[in-house]
Amino acid sequence: MSTLTCTKLTLLTLAAVVIQIIGLSLFVLGFFPVKPALSGVSGPESFTSPVCPSAEDHNFTIQSPDELKSLYLELSNISPSYDRLILMVVDGLPAEFVLGRDDRPAPEIFRKSMPYTQSLLDRGVATGYHAKAAPPTVTMPRLKAMVSGSVGGFLDVALNFNTQELLDDNLIGQFFKIGWKMVMLGDETWLKLFPRSFTRHDGVHSFFVKDTVQVDHNVSRHLDAELLMIDWKLLILHYLGLDHVGHTGGRNSVLMGPKLEEMDEVIKKIHRSMVQNKHGRTLLMLVSDHGMTENGNHGGASYEEADALMLLIGLRDYDRRPSTHKTVNQVDITPTLALLFGVPIPINSAGILIADTLKSLEAAQQLRALELNTWQLFRLLQAQLPDLSCSSSCGVDKDGPGNDIGECDGNTEEIFCCLYIKAADLHKAWKSCQVLGSNKVEDYRSTVLAYNDFLRTASEWLSRRATNKPVGLLAFGLTGMILSSLILLSLLYQLEQDVCMIKEDRTSHFSSRMHKWHMDEIFVMAIVCFLVLSMGSSSLIEEEQYIWHFMTSTLYFLLLRKAVQSISSVNTQDQGNFMERQIKRRFIQMSSIIFVLISGRILRGWHQGGVNWTNFPDISKWLESEGTAYIKPVQLVSLLLLTTSGFYALSFLRPSKRFVIVVGLSFLFPAILVLQYIINYQSSGVPASSNNATLLVQIIYATLGTTTFGIVVAVPWFMPVRNPKGCSSHHYNVLHVGIADSLYLIGLVYIICWGLLQLLLQQPINSAPILLLLVQILASMCSSSNSDPEPKQWVEVAVVYYLGMAGHFALGNTNTIATIDVAGAYMGVSSHSTVLSGILMFMITYAAPMLALLSMLINLSRRSKISLVNAQDVDLHFLLKTTLAYPCLVPLGLNSIFLVAYTTILLLMRNHLFVWSVFSPKYMYVCATTACIYIGVLIVASTVFYTYSTLGLRKMWIR
Amino acid sequence: MEKAEKKLKLSTNSNSTLLPISSLYTFILHTICGLGLALAYWVAHNVYSVSLVNDPTQTLRLIWVIEAPIVILLFSGFRQHPNQCSYIKAVGRGLLGLPAGAIVNALGAIALGAPVGIQHFSKTANWSILMSVFTIVPTASVFGSSWIEWRRIFAHAKPNGPIDLLICLPAHGAVIGAWFGAWPMPLDWERPWQEWPICVSFGAMAGYMVGIVASFSISLFQKHLKKE
């Protein structure tokens, strides 16, 4: 039977990790495409051609809003058709309710509910469009698409996690720049997106889905007053009620009819006031952000969900052909509104102008509008296709139109270039004809057609590019992750076989090779299955803290049961002294398990966590409401107990007393510094940012760093090599005891220093959980070292790993990005540095898993002692394989399973309603956990290698 | 019904050891345990017109008030060493086991995440008494304080004979059922039955029933094997 050698094991593990990293990065790149977008906002330069830099060099200085407005007017040559805009958003209204589907009219019941709107449509006063929405069909991304015209990705949501403000160029910003006064009534999402833009606003929550009446009443109550006001230029009304009706009762809810009637009343009121018209020409645009399924849900890409409405009421020159309803894209709203109201088209808009809306303008102005839209899209294309320049067409005056009209083909750049040149040439020719006064309708038509050709091709290409997921990349990434997971798991399996074999050789068991599985071992595996299954449910992801706590506690109950089982084996061997020792061991084992259970429950109760029940009472809320007078003592006691328990654990290292005292004293110093910081600076609950505080924190970082590093480097060299009784002359064993002691000491130093660092970094309220976690891990180690028969090492490692994950949530972390502690990330950072803050943020968030990983060294030390006792002649390779392999492979293997499972789930859920709000943030956390495990395992492995090689050197010298 | 049970018990009292019991007898035993629970639920639902979802405290109390005497009286009849231990004493052990088991169950549930607080106290108390009736009380009645037997039933789960099976399997079934019953609690379905301890009680009762069925089929199967 082939056994794994140490080298082979290491190489294979490394290979698996590398494959995993590659696979993960490929997947992330594929799933969250970073779209190359233009930065900045469109300004006056957008009225110049992107291809041929114009001769006159416009030097635009910063101007007042009014100047800017007139400048835009002058540059664009398009006279604005309207003075004011009313944007009425009816959340979740499917276009089918108003316009019908395909050629069928809207269902009778809905037609009857909206008599006024239908009459407007019939008379041709209103023009209706199906405005196709792109997934995710959820309010906020849809609003962004409507005002900025861009098709968003996830990363731009995730990467600015503190602000939901829309920073991209958008219509509201453009209007704001030309000095428009704007009013917003309705969904407060608008206020999150544009916190400073509105002169007056009244935001309503979309939180209580059951409320279908009050949300809309709160919008309409201001309507009469606002319609009489003359100061605003843009009035946004966002009605949420219809979406709520859908969520509670579906499309055919009994409340749907009355709700539509209510909306119809609003439209009637607005239209009447528009007709009376005292404040200039007003355009009413009725849009919905998305549709809904039969059950009233939305988020996906089905026709029902994507079928949003756009209704233009009050167009000046409407034709009287009702009921042919065109389909446009939702992003087309952006350039249309921009051109209608005389502002530059937002820079990243992928939409195309809806030509019908400009019918009232002269032909020249209509062509100019098309030209401006073309230029804007061309610039955007240039950002994505750097080779697109078309500069060859500049300066060369073509003889006239039609000389090179033909099919455009070639690569993407050539096609776009060809289409662009064709349209530009036709336009130029048309203009020169206009000067001569010999305009032909055909020429105009062909120019419009050529422009539309370009616009349509460009827009389609852009939006396909933004939403398309490169299947090959995703599949390749996933395959890589699966492959690495398989490698890790098969390594674990092989290792387990080897270890079993060795054990049998040694103890010469005549029992069958078939190992009897214990409950705890089965359950460790079952936890993996339960977690993987639970990942499929969005609410279980939101409330993951429950699952980890539930699973870990159950596992400890099973361990308790196993401990009770093993008492019986003691009873049968009636040997006074031996039995007494056994009973004592059982007692220690059981009491430490019970301690882990109790502290686990306290940790669970410390932060309620999650998303849905965050407002439930918990210990941290109670402490915070009592004020700092309660928190500070808790903090001080935690620090004291943490240091004490560190000393206590050190005292187990009996034979080298003096050495231990030196080590203990060396981290007493940072502990005192942390104490000083807590007393002096954390009184107000928020970390102080004075220079002294920053300096002190920096000193603490330096001391903790040097102490840890110094001890880790020095311990293997100076660890007294004690002589165990009986085999004093045996160099091997003597040194191996040295190894075990050094690892124990280093492991303890690691976790105590990590704990001290966390006491400093974490919010004051989290100091007690840090202490509890640390003691919990120590108690867990204690229970497994006192159990008979010796538990399998992979079970021990897995148990500690689970404790770490449960602790991660006990520190108040959730799977939403909102709970990342940003305040702590600036502690001791004197100048703004994204990298440093990022590292600190990572350390704060992954305090618990890292603590668990670092504590593996203590487990390792005990294991090497055990294999010493059992072994007759052990070499370092064997020792490394039997001790180090599990603490590295088990976390990597477990994490690889979660990674693969979650990646698959994310792929399956890519059209789910919550893909952006729940599944994608969770994926970020999964990735970060993976990174955390790499780092932890790396630290553990390198420490062990260092210790072994140092003691190996010492062995050579002793010889 | 109670009288019939007593008669059954009296007839078994005369036997001095745990003895082979006929299939019909096993069947009746299992049916009484199962029917007791069903009856309790029926009474709560139809006589007092409360259900677990409406009023968990009241319903749980009704169920354990009906189920506890059935279980105690029934299992006391099968006490170990009937010659050294009177029927009354066995009943007393069962009655003592009721609060003790309730405390154990409540602590276990709290360790696993059951809410703590005065507003939850009565719910948790009634639930844990019911769980005690399912798990601890039968063992207390039958085995008293025999540490070895307790460990055999609970730590090792090695029942021998139909009575052991009837003690062991439904108890484990109730615990495992309650464990699985806790799973829907964090889901955001906003259903009233997701509250503590409603779905956990449903799970426990379902598990108990499954345990009874399993115990009955296994004891039949074992008898069948023995005959062969």
Concatenating the DSSP letter of every residue in A764-813 gives: GGGHHHHHHHHHHHHHHHHHHHT-SSPPPHHHHHHHHHHHHHHHHHHTT-
Residue A539 is nearest to which of B117, B179, B188, comparing CB atoms? B188
| Interface contact B155, partner A, CB < 8 A | yes
The shortest C-alpha distance from A597 to chain B (Å) reads 6
Q: Are A289 and A306 in contact (CB under 8 A)?
A: no
Q: Are A860 and A944 in contact (CB under 8 A)?
A: yes
Asked if the Cβ–Cβ distance from B156 to A605 is below 8 Å, we say no
Asked if the Cβ–Cβ distance from B188 to A601 is below 8 Å, we say no
Residue-wise pLDDT for A504-526, tens only, equals: 665 555 444 445 778 888 999 99
Distance in Å from the first CA to the final CA of chain B: 36
Q: Are A174 and A168 in contact (CB under 8 A)?
A: no
Asked if the Cβ–Cβ distance from A553 to B112 is below 8 Å, we say yes
Percentage, residues of chain B above pLDDT 70 = 90
Question: Is the pLDDT confidence value at B43 over 70?
Answer: yes
| Residues in chain B closer than 8 A to A547 (CB atoms) | 186
d(CA B126, CA B120): 10
Confidence (pLDDT) at B4: 41
Asked if the Cβ–Cβ distance from A540 to B111 is below 8 Å, we say no
Cis peptide before A335 (omega within 30 of 0): no
Confidence (pLDDT) at A729: 46
Q: For residue A649, what are the contacts with CB-CB under 8 A and spacing of at least 6?
A: A748, A778
| Residues in chain A closer than 8 A to B155 (CB atoms) | 561, 564-565, 568
Confidence (pLDDT) at A726: 46
Q: Identify the residue with better confidence: A559 or A576.
A: A559
Asked if the Cβ–Cβ distance from B188 to A612 is below 8 Å, we say yes
What the block records as the tokens of B186 is 């964090």
Q: How far is CA A422 from CA A55, A390, A397, in A?
A: 22, 11, 13
d(CA B129, CA B97): 10
The shortest C-alpha distance from B191 to chain A (Å) reads 14
Q: For residue A679, what are the contacts with CB-CB under 8 A and spacing of at least 6?
A: A636
| Interface contact B154, partner A, CB < 8 A | yes
| Interface contact A554, partner B, CB < 8 A | yes
The shortest C-alpha distance from B44 to chain A (Å) reads 31
d(CA B37, CA B45): 12
Q: Identify the residue with better confidence: A849 or A917.
A: A849
pLDDT band at A3 (very low <50, low <70, confident <90, very high): low
Search chain A and give the residue with CA nearest B176.
A554
Asked if A679 and A717 sit in the same domain, the reply is: yes
Confidence (pLDDT) at A530: 94
Among the listed residues A194, A232, A224, the one whose alpha carbon sits nearest the alpha carbon of residue A83: A232
Strands A234-239 and A84-90: parallel
Q: What is the mean pLDDT of residues B198-227?
A: 89
| Interface contact A833, partner B, CB < 8 A | no
Q: Identify the residue with better confidence: A138 or A179.
A: A179
CB atoms within 10 A of CB A4: 16
Greatest extent of chain B over all pairs of C-alpha atoms, in Å:
58
Distance in Å from the first CA to the final CA of chain A: 35
Asked if the Cβ–Cβ distance from A553 to B155 is below 8 Å, we say no
Asked if A656 and A637 sit in the same domain, the reply is: yes
Asked if the Cβ–Cβ distance from A546 to B185 is below 8 Å, we say yes
Q: For residue A395, what are the contacts with CB-CB under 8 A and spacing of at least 6?
A: A52
Query: Which CATH number characterizes residue A131's domain?
Result: 3.40.720.10
| Interface contact B186, partner A, CB < 8 A | yes
d(CA A498, CA A313): 78
Among the listed residues A518, A523, A600, the one whose alpha carbon sits nearest the alpha carbon of residue A566: A518
Confidence (pLDDT) at B201: 94
Confidence (pLDDT) at A157: 52
Question: Is the pLDDT confidence value at B161 over 90?
Answer: no
B192: buried, middle or exposed (CB in 10 Å: 19+, 13-18, 0-12)? exposed
pLDDT band at A590 (very low <50, low <70, confident <90, very high): very high
Task: Mark which residues 189-218 of B lie under 8 Å from A by CB.
Answer: 189
Residue-wise pLDDT for A616-672, tens only, equals: 888 988 888 887 788 888 999 999 999 999 888 888 876 667 777 888 888 888 899
| Interface contact B108, partner A, CB < 8 A | yes
Give the mean pLDDT of chain A: 83
Confidence (pLDDT) at B24: 80
Helix (H) or strand (E) holding A90: strand A84-90
Chain A interface, best mutation among B110, B112, B150, by max A CB count within 10 A = B112
Search chain A and give the residue with CA nearest B188.
A539
Confidence (pLDDT) at A738: 79
| Residues in chain B closer than 8 A to A610 (CB atoms) | 186
Among the listed residues A713, A705, A692, A701, the one whose alpha carbon sits nearest the alpha carbon of residue A674: A701
Percentage, residues of chain A above pLDDT 90 = 28
Confidence (pLDDT) at A401: 43
Confidence (pLDDT) at B175: 95
The shortest C-alpha distance from A596 to chain B (Å) reads 10
Question: Is the pLDDT confidence value at B15 over 90?
Answer: no
Question: For A239-248, A334-343, A655-664, B143-152, which range has the lowest pLDDT when averaged over its residues?
Answer: A655-664
Question: Is the pLDDT confidence value at A806 over 90?
Answer: yes
Confidence (pLDDT) at A400: 43
Asked if the Cβ–Cβ distance from B188 to A561 is below 8 Å, we say no
**3-state SS, one letter per residue, for A302-346:** CHHHHEEEEEEECCCCCCCCCCCCEEEEHHHHHHHHHHHCCCCCC
Confidence (pLDDT) at A939: 95
Q: What is the pTM of this model?
A: 0.78
Search chain A and give the residue with CA nearest B117.
A617
Asked if A455 and A477 sit in the same domain, the reply is: no
Asked if A385 and A298 sit in the same domain, the reply is: no
| Residues in chain B closer than 8 A to A539 (CB atoms) | 186-189
Confidence (pLDDT) at A65: 84
Asked if the Cβ–Cβ distance from A565 to B108 is below 8 Å, we say no
Search chain A and give the residue with CA nearest B189.
A539
Confidence (pLDDT) at B6: 41
Strands A84-90 and A282-287: parallel
| Interface contact A601, partner B, CB < 8 A | yes
d(CA A558, CA A556): 5
The shortest C-alpha distance from A654 to chain B (Å) reads 35
In a domain, A509, yes or no: yes
Search chain A and give the residue with CA nearest B152.
A565
Question: Phi/psi zone of residue A170: left (φ > 0), alpha (ψ -120 to 50 degrees), beta?
Answer: beta
Q: Are A151 and A466 in contact (CB under 8 A)?
A: yes
Asked if A447 and A483 sit in the same domain, the reply is: no
d(CA A754, CA A751): 5
Question: Is the pLDDT confidence value at A891 over 50?
Answer: yes
Confidence (pLDDT) at A640: 93
The DSSP symbol for A686 reads S
| Residues in chain A closer than 8 A to B177 (CB atoms) | none
The DSSP symbol for A249 reads H
Asked if A418 and A565 sit in the same domain, the reply is: no
Search chain A and give the residue with CA nearest B182.
A550
Confidence (pLDDT) at B5: 42
Q: Identify the residue with better confidence: A433 or A160.
A: A433
Structural domain count, chain A: 4
Q: Are A313 and A271 in contact (CB under 8 A)?
A: yes
Asked if A797 and A914 sit in the same domain, the reply is: yes
Residue B179 is nearest to which of A554, A597, A604, comparing CB atoms? A554
**3-state SS, one letter per residue, for A17-85:** HHHHHHHHHHHHHHHCCCCCCCCCCCCHHHHCCCCCCCCCCCCCCCCCHHHHHHHHHHHHCCCCCCCEE
pLDDT band at B9 (very low <50, low <70, confident <90, very high): very low
pLDDT band at B146 (very low <50, low <70, confident <90, very high): confident
Residue B113 is nearest to which of A565, A604, A617, comparing CB atoms? A604
Q: Identify the residue with better confidence: A431 or A915.
A: A431
Residue-wise pLDDT for A145-183, tens only, equals: 889 888 765 555 555 444 567 778 889 999 998 889 999
In this structure, what is the dihedral angle of CA atoms A106, A111, A114, A119, given to the nearest 10 degrees?
90
d(CA A20, CA B61): 55
| Residues in chain B closer than 8 A to A549 (CB atoms) | 112-113
Search chain A and give the residue with CA nearest B115.
A605
| Residues in chain A closer than 8 A to B187 (CB atoms) | 537, 539-540, 543
d(CA A102, CA A307): 11
Residue B187 is nearest to which of A537, A554, A561, comparing CB atoms? A537
d(CA B143, CA B148): 9
Percentage, residues of chain B above pLDDT 90 = 39
Residue-wise pLDDT for B71-127, tens only, equals: 999 888 888 888 888 889 999 999 999 999 999 999 999 999 999 989 999 999 999
Asked if A586 and A683 sit in the same domain, the reply is: yes
Among A192-196, A342-346, A770-774, top mean pLDDT goes to A770-774
Asked if A530 and A581 sit in the same domain, the reply is: yes
Confidence (pLDDT) at A654: 64
Greatest extent of chain A over all pairs of C-alpha atoms, in Å:
120
Asked if A93 and A175 sit in the same domain, the reply is: yes
d(CA B9, CA A957): 81
Distance of CA A795 to the CA centre of its chain: 31
Chain A interface, best mutation among B105, B116, B172, B187, by max A CB count within 10 A = B187
d(CA A427, CA A368): 9
Asked if the Cβ–Cβ distance from B113 to A537 is below 8 Å, we say no
Asked if A503 and A548 sit in the same domain, the reply is: no
Q: Are A89 and A288 in contact (CB under 8 A)?
A: yes
Residue-wise pLDDT for A328-383, tens only, equals: 989 999 999 999 888 899 988 888 998 888 877 888 888 889 999 999 988 888 88
Residue-wise pLDDT for A281-313, tens only, equals: 889 999 999 888 887 877 767 788 888 999 988
What the block records as the tokens of A572 is 């049968």
Asked if the Cβ–Cβ distance from B151 to A564 is below 8 Å, we say yes
d(CA A563, CA A135): 54
Question: Phi/psi zone of residue A654: left (φ > 0), alpha (ψ -120 to 50 degrees), beta?
Answer: alpha
| Residues in chain B closer than 8 A to A554 (CB atoms) | 112, 179
Task: Mark which residues 124-153 of B lie under 8 Å from A by CB.
Answer: 148, 151
In a domain, A321, yes or no: no
Query: Rounded to 5 degrees, what angle do the CA atoms A206, A201, A218 make?
Result: 50
Confidence (pLDDT) at A843: 93
Question: Is the pLDDT confidence value at A411 over 50?
Answer: yes
- Using only C-alpha atoms, chain A has a radius of gyration, in whole angstroms, of 35
Chain B interface, best mutation among A549, A554, A607, A913, by max B CB count within 10 A = A554
Q: Which range marks the domain in which residue A725 is found?
A: 523-958
Confidence (pLDDT) at B64: 92
Residue B111 is nearest to which of A565, A568, A597, comparing CB atoms? A597
The neighbouring-strand residues paired with A69 are: none
Asked if A77 and A88 sit in the same domain, the reply is: no
Chain B interface, best mutation among A565, A595, A809, A814, by max B CB count within 10 A = A565
Residue-wise pLDDT for A723-750, tens only, equals: 544 444 455 566 677 788 888 889 999 9
Confidence (pLDDT) at A882: 77
Q: What is the mean pLDDT of residues A551-577?
A: 79
Among the listed residues A626, A640, A629, A929, the one whose alpha carbon sits nearest the alpha carbon of residue A767: A640
Asked if the Cβ–Cβ distance from A550 to B188 is below 8 Å, we say no
d(CA A393, CA A404): 12
d(CA A905, CA A214): 38
d(CA B170, CA B135): 8
In a domain, A151, yes or no: no
Confidence (pLDDT) at A51: 75
Question: For A176-190, A288-302, A599-613, A771-785, which range has the lowest pLDDT when averaged over its residues?
Answer: A288-302
Query: Rounded to 5 degrees, what angle do the CA atoms A3, A7, A12 make?
Result: 85
Residue-wise pLDDT for A19-67, tens only, equals: 999 999 999 888 876 665 677 788 888 888 777 665 555 556 667 888 8
Q: What are phi and psi of A50, to 5 degrees?
A: -75, -20
Question: Is the pLDDT confidence value at A318 over 60?
Answer: no
- Helices in A206-362 by DSSP H: which ranges? 214-220, 223-228, 241-249, 256-276, 303-306, 333-340
Q: What are phi and psi of A129, to 5 degrees?
A: -135, 150
| Interface contact B118, partner A, CB < 8 A | no
Question: Is the pLDDT confidence value at A443 over 90?
Answer: no
| Interface contact B119, partner A, CB < 8 A | no
The shortest C-alpha distance from A702 to chain B (Å) reads 40
